Protein backbone atom coordinates (compact mmCIF):
# COMPACT_ATOMS: atom_id res chain seq x y z
CA UNK A 1 0.00 0.00 0.00
CA UNK A 2 1.49 3.39 -0.91
CA UNK A 3 1.96 6.03 1.73
CA UNK A 4 -0.60 8.37 0.22
CA UNK A 5 -3.35 5.78 0.82
CA UNK A 6 -3.36 6.54 4.53
CA UNK A 7 -5.74 9.15 5.88
CA UNK A 8 -4.23 12.54 6.69
CA UNK A 9 -3.87 13.22 10.39
CA UNK A 10 -5.18 16.46 11.94
CA UNK A 11 -3.01 19.07 13.70
CA UNK A 12 -1.25 17.91 16.87
CA UNK A 13 -2.38 20.93 18.90
CA UNK A 14 -6.10 21.43 19.18
CA UNK A 15 -7.56 24.91 18.66
CA UNK A 16 -10.42 24.18 21.06
CA UNK A 17 -9.46 22.52 24.38
CA UNK A 18 -13.02 22.66 25.75
CA UNK A 19 -14.39 20.77 22.74
CA UNK A 20 -11.54 18.30 23.21
CA UNK A 21 -12.53 17.58 26.80
CA UNK A 22 -16.14 17.22 25.74
CA UNK A 23 -15.18 14.61 23.14
CA UNK A 24 -12.89 12.77 25.59
CA UNK A 25 -15.81 12.52 28.02
CA UNK A 26 -18.02 11.07 25.27
CA UNK A 27 -15.29 8.61 24.23
CA UNK A 28 -14.84 7.38 27.82
CA UNK A 29 -18.61 6.89 28.14
CA UNK A 30 -18.57 4.77 24.96
CA UNK A 31 -15.79 2.57 26.37
CA UNK A 32 -17.68 2.19 29.64
CA UNK A 33 -20.82 1.16 27.78
CA UNK A 34 -18.82 -1.42 25.83
CA UNK A 35 -17.44 -2.87 29.07
CA UNK A 36 -20.91 -2.98 30.59
CA UNK A 37 -22.24 -5.01 27.66
CA UNK A 38 -19.42 -7.55 27.88
CA UNK A 39 -19.28 -10.75 29.96
CA UNK A 40 -16.16 -12.16 31.57
CA UNK A 41 -14.39 -15.05 29.84
CA UNK A 42 -14.88 -18.60 31.12
CA UNK A 43 -12.32 -20.50 33.18
CA UNK A 44 -12.47 -24.06 31.80
CA UNK A 45 -11.45 -26.93 34.07
CA UNK A 46 -9.51 -29.92 32.81
CA UNK A 47 -8.83 -33.07 34.84
CA UNK A 48 -6.09 -35.17 33.24
CA UNK A 49 -5.86 -38.87 34.25
CA UNK A 50 -2.05 -38.72 34.19
CA UNK A 51 -2.11 -36.17 37.04
CA UNK A 52 -4.68 -37.25 39.62
CA UNK A 53 -3.76 -34.59 42.19
CA UNK A 54 -3.44 -31.73 39.75
CA UNK A 55 -6.26 -29.73 38.22
CA UNK A 56 -5.71 -27.53 35.21
CA UNK A 57 -7.69 -24.42 34.40
CA UNK A 58 -7.78 -22.73 31.01
CA UNK A 59 -8.92 -19.11 30.79
CA UNK A 60 -10.75 -18.82 27.48
CA UNK A 61 -9.56 -15.45 26.19
CA UNK A 62 -10.59 -16.43 22.65
CA UNK A 63 -14.17 -15.80 23.77
CA UNK A 64 -13.77 -12.01 23.68
CA UNK A 65 -15.70 -10.43 20.77
CA UNK A 66 -12.38 -9.73 19.02
CA UNK A 67 -11.14 -13.28 19.61
CA UNK A 68 -8.10 -12.86 21.85
CA UNK A 69 -6.65 -11.66 25.14
CA UNK A 70 -5.75 -8.42 23.30
CA UNK A 71 -9.34 -7.25 23.75
CA UNK A 72 -8.40 -6.33 27.35
CA UNK A 73 -5.17 -4.64 26.25
CA UNK A 74 -6.73 -2.64 23.41
CA UNK A 75 -9.34 -1.23 25.79
CA UNK A 76 -6.61 -0.27 28.28
CA UNK A 77 -4.48 1.38 25.56
CA UNK A 78 -7.39 3.52 24.35
CA UNK A 79 -8.21 4.52 27.94
CA UNK A 80 -4.56 5.36 28.54
CA UNK A 81 -4.29 7.49 25.38
CA UNK A 82 -7.55 9.29 26.19
CA UNK A 83 -6.68 9.99 29.82
CA UNK A 84 -3.24 11.26 28.80
CA UNK A 85 -4.86 13.75 26.43
CA UNK A 86 -3.13 12.12 23.46
CA UNK A 87 -6.22 11.13 21.48
CA UNK A 88 -8.62 13.55 19.81
CA UNK A 89 -11.76 13.50 17.76
CA UNK A 90 -11.09 12.46 14.16
CA UNK A 91 -7.45 11.54 14.82
CA UNK A 92 -5.91 8.56 13.02
CA UNK A 93 -4.93 5.74 15.39
CA UNK A 94 -1.94 3.51 14.59
CA UNK A 95 -0.14 0.56 16.15
CA UNK A 96 2.41 -2.12 15.26
CA UNK A 97 1.05 -5.61 15.81
CA UNK A 98 1.48 -9.26 14.92
CA UNK A 99 -2.27 -9.17 14.34
CA UNK A 100 -4.27 -9.91 17.48
CA UNK A 101 -3.83 -6.45 18.97
CA UNK A 102 -4.63 -4.81 15.64
CA UNK A 103 -7.96 -6.64 15.44
CA UNK A 104 -8.93 -5.55 18.95
CA UNK A 105 -7.75 -1.98 18.38
CA UNK A 106 -9.71 -1.80 15.11
CA UNK A 107 -12.81 -2.80 17.08
CA UNK A 108 -12.40 0.00 19.65
CA UNK A 109 -11.40 2.56 16.99
CA UNK A 110 -14.65 1.79 15.22
CA UNK A 111 -16.62 2.18 18.46
CA UNK A 112 -15.09 5.65 18.82
CA UNK A 113 -15.49 6.56 15.13
CA UNK A 114 -11.73 6.89 14.54
CA UNK A 115 -9.73 5.77 11.47
CA UNK A 116 -7.26 2.98 12.30
CA UNK A 117 -4.03 1.80 10.64
CA UNK A 118 -2.38 -1.52 11.63
CA UNK A 119 1.32 -1.93 10.82
CA UNK A 120 1.89 -5.66 10.49
CA UNK A 121 4.55 -8.01 9.11
CA UNK A 122 3.59 -9.15 5.60
CA UNK A 123 3.84 -12.78 6.82
CA UNK A 124 0.91 -12.31 9.27
CA UNK A 125 -1.90 -14.88 8.88
CA UNK A 126 -4.16 -13.72 6.00
CA UNK A 127 -7.15 -14.28 8.25
CA UNK A 128 -5.93 -11.67 10.75
CA UNK A 129 -5.42 -9.12 7.98
CA UNK A 130 -8.97 -9.79 6.76
CA UNK A 131 -10.32 -9.40 10.33
CA UNK A 132 -8.71 -5.94 10.70
CA UNK A 133 -10.15 -4.86 7.36
CA UNK A 134 -13.60 -6.23 8.24
CA UNK A 135 -13.59 -3.90 11.26
CA UNK A 136 -12.81 -0.91 9.03
CA UNK A 137 -9.05 -0.80 9.69
CA UNK A 138 -6.33 -0.29 7.06
CA UNK A 139 -3.31 -2.62 7.01
CA UNK A 140 0.18 -1.31 6.27
CA UNK A 141 2.24 -4.46 5.64
CA UNK A 142 6.02 -4.37 5.98
CA UNK A 143 8.30 -7.10 4.61
CA UNK A 144 10.80 -7.00 7.48
CA UNK A 145 9.05 -7.77 10.83
CA UNK A 146 11.66 -5.77 12.79
CA UNK A 147 10.63 -2.62 10.85
CA UNK A 148 7.08 -2.44 12.22
CA UNK A 149 8.07 -0.12 15.09
CA UNK A 150 9.79 2.39 12.80
CA UNK A 151 6.87 2.34 10.41
CA UNK A 152 4.35 2.98 13.20
CA UNK A 153 6.56 5.87 14.38
CA UNK A 154 6.44 7.28 10.83
CA UNK A 155 2.62 7.35 10.99
CA UNK A 156 2.86 9.04 14.40
CA UNK A 157 5.20 11.69 12.97
CA UNK A 158 2.38 12.61 10.59
CA UNK A 159 0.05 13.19 13.54
CA UNK A 160 -1.46 9.77 14.20
CA UNK A 161 -1.99 8.66 17.81
CA UNK A 162 0.41 5.74 18.35
CA UNK A 163 -1.22 3.38 20.87
CA UNK A 164 2.24 1.78 21.16
CA UNK A 165 1.40 -1.58 22.70
CA UNK A 166 5.04 -2.64 22.99
CA UNK A 167 6.02 0.41 25.05
CA UNK A 168 2.80 0.95 26.97
CA UNK A 169 1.07 -2.43 27.57
CA UNK A 170 2.77 -2.92 30.90
CA UNK A 171 1.72 0.48 32.30
CA UNK A 172 -1.64 0.92 30.54
CA UNK A 173 -3.06 -2.10 32.38
CA UNK A 174 -4.17 -1.45 35.96
CA UNK A 175 -2.25 -4.19 37.78
CA UNK A 176 -4.04 -3.60 41.10
CA UNK A 177 -7.38 -4.78 39.76
CA UNK A 178 -10.13 -3.18 37.68
CA UNK A 179 -10.98 -6.64 36.35
CA UNK A 180 -7.51 -7.21 34.95
CA UNK A 181 -6.88 -10.81 33.88
CA UNK A 182 -5.23 -11.79 37.18
CA UNK A 183 -8.07 -10.47 39.32
CA UNK A 184 -10.58 -12.21 37.07
CA UNK A 185 -8.78 -15.59 37.28
CA UNK A 186 -8.31 -15.51 41.05
CA UNK A 187 -11.91 -14.52 41.60
CA UNK A 188 -13.09 -17.40 39.39
CA UNK A 189 -10.88 -19.81 41.39
CA UNK A 190 -12.43 -18.97 44.78
CA UNK A 191 -14.77 -22.03 44.96
CA UNK A 192 -12.23 -24.53 43.55
CA UNK A 193 -10.46 -27.22 45.64
CA UNK A 194 -7.14 -25.35 45.35
CA UNK A 195 -8.19 -21.69 45.00
CA UNK A 196 -4.61 -20.46 45.25
CA UNK A 197 -2.90 -21.84 42.13
CA UNK A 198 0.51 -23.48 42.43
CA UNK A 199 1.34 -21.96 39.04
CA UNK A 200 -0.03 -19.48 36.56
CA UNK A 201 1.43 -19.91 33.06
CA UNK A 202 1.36 -17.30 30.29
CA UNK A 203 3.37 -16.20 27.26
CA UNK A 204 5.27 -12.97 26.66
CA UNK A 205 4.52 -10.85 23.59
CA UNK A 206 4.32 -7.30 24.86
CA UNK A 207 4.99 -8.72 28.33
CA UNK A 208 1.85 -6.97 29.57
CA UNK A 209 0.06 -10.12 30.71
CA UNK A 210 3.02 -11.54 32.66
CA UNK A 211 3.74 -8.14 34.26
CA UNK A 212 0.11 -7.74 35.33
CA UNK A 213 -0.19 -11.26 36.74
CA UNK A 214 3.20 -11.13 38.50
CA UNK A 215 2.46 -7.79 40.14
CA UNK A 216 -1.05 -8.78 41.16
CA UNK A 217 0.17 -12.01 42.82
CA UNK A 218 2.51 -9.96 45.01
CA UNK A 219 -0.10 -7.24 45.64
CA UNK A 220 -2.52 -9.89 46.93
CA UNK A 221 0.17 -11.62 48.99
CA UNK A 222 -0.22 -15.00 47.29
CA UNK A 223 2.46 -17.68 46.94
CA UNK A 224 1.36 -18.66 43.42
CA UNK A 225 4.35 -18.81 41.08
CA UNK A 226 4.40 -17.32 37.59
CA UNK A 227 5.88 -19.24 34.65
CA UNK A 228 6.41 -17.77 31.19
CA UNK A 229 6.02 -20.29 28.35
CA UNK A 230 8.35 -19.23 25.55
CA UNK A 231 9.15 -20.57 22.08
CA UNK A 232 12.64 -22.15 22.24
CA UNK A 233 15.39 -19.56 21.87
CA UNK A 234 13.05 -16.58 22.34
CA UNK A 235 14.32 -13.22 23.60
CA UNK A 236 12.37 -13.37 26.86
CA UNK A 237 14.03 -16.68 27.81
CA UNK A 238 17.54 -15.40 27.09
CA UNK A 239 16.88 -12.02 28.73
CA UNK A 240 15.23 -13.46 31.85
CA UNK A 241 18.16 -15.74 32.68
CA UNK A 242 20.70 -12.90 32.72
CA UNK A 243 18.29 -10.00 33.34
CA UNK A 244 19.63 -8.68 30.04
CA UNK A 245 17.50 -6.02 28.28
CA UNK A 246 19.70 -6.31 25.18
CA UNK A 247 19.04 -10.04 24.65
CA UNK A 248 17.96 -11.22 21.20
CA UNK A 249 16.16 -14.39 20.12
CA UNK A 250 18.54 -17.09 18.92
CA UNK A 251 15.95 -18.56 16.55
CA UNK A 252 12.69 -17.41 14.94
CA UNK A 253 9.36 -18.95 15.86
CA UNK A 254 6.18 -19.80 13.95
CA UNK A 255 4.09 -19.08 17.04
CA UNK A 256 2.41 -15.69 16.59
CA UNK A 257 1.92 -13.31 19.51
CA UNK A 258 4.93 -14.57 21.52
CA UNK A 259 8.59 -15.47 20.89
CA UNK A 260 9.64 -11.88 20.24
CA UNK A 261 12.92 -11.25 18.37
CA UNK A 262 14.06 -8.68 20.98
CA UNK A 263 13.44 -7.89 24.65
CA UNK A 264 10.40 -5.59 24.55
CA UNK A 265 10.25 -2.55 26.85
CA UNK A 266 7.34 -4.12 28.76
CA UNK A 267 9.21 -7.27 29.78
CA UNK A 268 9.33 -7.23 33.58
CA UNK A 269 11.74 -10.05 34.44
CA UNK A 270 11.69 -9.80 38.23
CA UNK A 271 8.07 -10.92 38.72
CA UNK A 272 8.59 -14.12 36.71
CA UNK A 273 9.63 -17.22 38.71
CA UNK A 274 10.34 -19.65 35.90
CA UNK A 275 10.61 -19.82 32.09
CA UNK A 276 9.91 -22.97 30.08
CA UNK A 277 11.09 -23.10 26.48
CA UNK A 278 8.97 -25.08 24.03
CA UNK A 279 9.90 -26.16 20.49
CA UNK A 280 7.44 -24.93 17.84
CA UNK A 281 6.71 -28.51 16.80
CA UNK A 282 5.49 -29.29 20.33
CA UNK A 283 3.44 -26.09 20.60
CA UNK A 284 1.70 -26.96 17.34
CA UNK A 285 1.09 -30.58 18.40
CA UNK A 286 -0.41 -29.23 21.64
CA UNK A 287 -2.65 -26.82 19.72
CA UNK A 288 -3.95 -29.81 17.74
CA UNK A 289 -4.44 -31.76 20.97
CA UNK A 290 -6.37 -28.88 22.56
CA UNK A 291 -8.89 -29.17 19.76
CA UNK A 292 -9.40 -32.85 20.69
CA UNK A 293 -9.73 -32.03 24.37
CA UNK A 294 -11.92 -28.96 24.13
CA UNK A 295 -13.74 -29.46 20.83
CA UNK A 296 -12.57 -26.08 19.60
CA UNK A 297 -9.44 -24.70 17.99
CA UNK A 298 -7.07 -22.32 19.72
CA UNK A 299 -3.88 -20.68 18.43
CA UNK A 300 -0.26 -21.76 18.70
CA UNK A 301 0.57 -19.79 21.85
CA UNK A 302 -2.20 -21.67 23.70
CA UNK A 303 -0.32 -24.84 22.73
CA UNK A 304 2.95 -23.40 24.07
CA UNK A 305 1.19 -22.61 27.36
CA UNK A 306 -0.32 -26.09 27.54
CA UNK A 307 3.04 -27.84 27.11
CA UNK A 308 4.50 -25.74 29.93
CA UNK A 309 1.52 -26.70 32.14
CA UNK A 310 2.09 -30.41 31.45
CA UNK A 311 5.76 -30.10 32.42
CA UNK A 312 4.86 -28.29 35.65
CA UNK A 313 2.17 -30.90 36.40
CA UNK A 314 4.78 -33.63 35.94
CA UNK A 315 7.08 -31.92 38.43
CA UNK A 316 4.28 -31.54 41.00
CA UNK A 317 3.27 -35.20 40.57
CA UNK A 318 6.87 -36.47 40.82
CA UNK A 319 7.30 -34.56 44.08
CA UNK A 320 4.07 -36.04 45.40
CA UNK A 321 2.38 -32.64 45.41
CA UNK A 322 -1.08 -31.62 44.25
CA UNK A 323 -2.58 -28.30 43.31
CA UNK A 324 -4.00 -26.21 40.55
CA UNK A 325 -2.29 -24.85 37.45
CA UNK A 326 -3.90 -22.03 35.48
CA UNK A 327 -3.12 -20.91 31.96
CA UNK A 328 -4.62 -18.92 29.09
CA UNK A 329 -6.19 -19.90 25.79
CA UNK A 330 -4.92 -16.78 24.06
CA UNK A 331 -6.73 -16.62 20.73
CA UNK A 332 -9.02 -18.39 18.28
CA UNK A 333 -7.60 -21.23 16.20
CA UNK A 334 -9.67 -20.20 13.19
CA UNK A 335 -7.02 -17.52 12.59
CA UNK A 336 -4.51 -20.25 11.74
CA UNK A 337 -6.57 -22.53 9.49
CA UNK A 338 -4.28 -21.74 6.55
CA UNK A 339 -1.12 -22.05 8.64
CA UNK A 340 -0.74 -24.09 11.85
CA UNK A 341 -3.78 -26.26 11.12
CA UNK A 342 -2.84 -26.90 7.48
CA UNK A 343 -0.73 -30.08 7.18
CA UNK A 344 0.65 -28.95 3.79
CA UNK A 345 1.75 -25.58 5.18
CA UNK A 346 3.49 -27.35 8.07
CA UNK A 347 5.16 -29.90 5.78
CA UNK A 348 6.56 -27.08 3.65
CA UNK A 349 8.27 -25.82 6.83
CA UNK A 350 9.60 -29.25 7.82
CA UNK A 351 7.10 -29.70 10.63
CA UNK A 352 5.28 -32.91 11.40
CA UNK A 353 2.99 -32.62 14.43
CA UNK A 354 2.34 -36.39 14.56
CA UNK A 355 5.26 -37.52 16.77
CA UNK A 356 4.47 -34.70 19.17
CA UNK A 357 0.83 -35.71 19.27
CA UNK A 358 1.76 -39.33 19.95
CA UNK A 359 4.00 -38.19 22.80
CA UNK A 360 1.18 -36.10 24.26
CA UNK A 361 -1.34 -38.93 23.94
CA UNK A 362 0.05 -40.58 27.07
CA UNK A 363 -1.37 -37.73 29.15
CA UNK A 364 -4.86 -37.93 27.78
CA UNK A 365 -5.60 -41.21 25.95
CA UNK A 366 -7.18 -42.88 28.94
CA UNK A 367 -10.81 -43.12 29.96
CA UNK A 368 -11.63 -40.69 32.69
CA UNK A 369 -10.56 -37.57 30.86
CA UNK A 370 -12.95 -34.90 31.86
CA UNK A 371 -13.52 -31.37 30.73
CA UNK A 372 -15.84 -29.54 33.03
Ligand X SMILES: *Cc1c(COP(=O)(O)O)cnc(C)c1O
Region near ligand X per CB under 6 A, out of 36-44, 88-96, 200-208, 216-224: 200-208
Contacts with ligand X, 167-186, as mask; x by CB under 6 A: --x-----------------
As a whole number of Å, the end-to-end CA separation of the chain is 47
Region near ligand X per CB under 6 A, out of 36-44, 201-209, 218-226, 244-252: 201-209
Taking the least distance from each CB to ligand X, the nearer of 114 and 228 is 228
Phi-psi region at 257: left, alpha or beta (left = phi > 0; alpha = psi -120 to 50): left
Q: What are phi and psi of 99, to 5 degrees?
A: 130, -50
Does 100 engage in binding with ligand X (CB under 6 A)? yes
Rounded-to-integer distance, Cα 194 and Cα 324, Å: 6
Binds ligand X by CB under 6 A, chosen from 258, 290, 316, 340: 258
Binds ligand X by CB under 6 A, chosen from 41, 66, 68, 324: 68
Q: What are phi and psi of 275, to 5 degrees?
A: -125, 130
Residue 311 near residue 227, CB atoms below 8 Å: no
Does 125 engage in binding with ligand X (CB under 6 A)? no
Least distance from ligand X to the Cβ atom of residue 266, Å: 7
Least distance from ligand X to the Cβ atom of residue 325, Å: 17
- Cα distances from 147 to residues 60, 93, 164, in angstroms, run 32, 18, 14
Does 208 engage in binding with ligand X (CB under 6 A)? yes
Angle made by CA atoms 329, 144, 69, in degrees to the nearest 5? 15
Site for ligand X in 18-37 (CB under 6 A): none
**Contacts of residue 213, Cβ cutoff 8 Å, sequence gap at least 6:** 181, 182, 185, 200, 202, 226, 271
Least distance from ligand X to the Cβ atom of residue 335, Å: 8
Does 333 engage in binding with ligand X (CB under 6 A)? no
Contacts with ligand X, residue ranges (CB under 6 A): 68, 70, 100, 169, 203-210, 257-258, 299, 301, 330-331
Amino acid sequence: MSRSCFPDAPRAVSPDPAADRQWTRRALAILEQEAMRSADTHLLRLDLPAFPGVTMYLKDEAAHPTGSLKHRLARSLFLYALCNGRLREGQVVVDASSGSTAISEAWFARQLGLPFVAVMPACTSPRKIADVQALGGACDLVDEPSQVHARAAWHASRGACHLDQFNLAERATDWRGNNNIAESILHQMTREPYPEPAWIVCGAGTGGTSATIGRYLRYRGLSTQLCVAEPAGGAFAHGWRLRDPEARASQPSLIEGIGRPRVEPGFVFDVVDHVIEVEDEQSIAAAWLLEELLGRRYGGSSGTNFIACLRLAETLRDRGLGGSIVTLLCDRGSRYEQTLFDAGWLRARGIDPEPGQRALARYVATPGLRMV
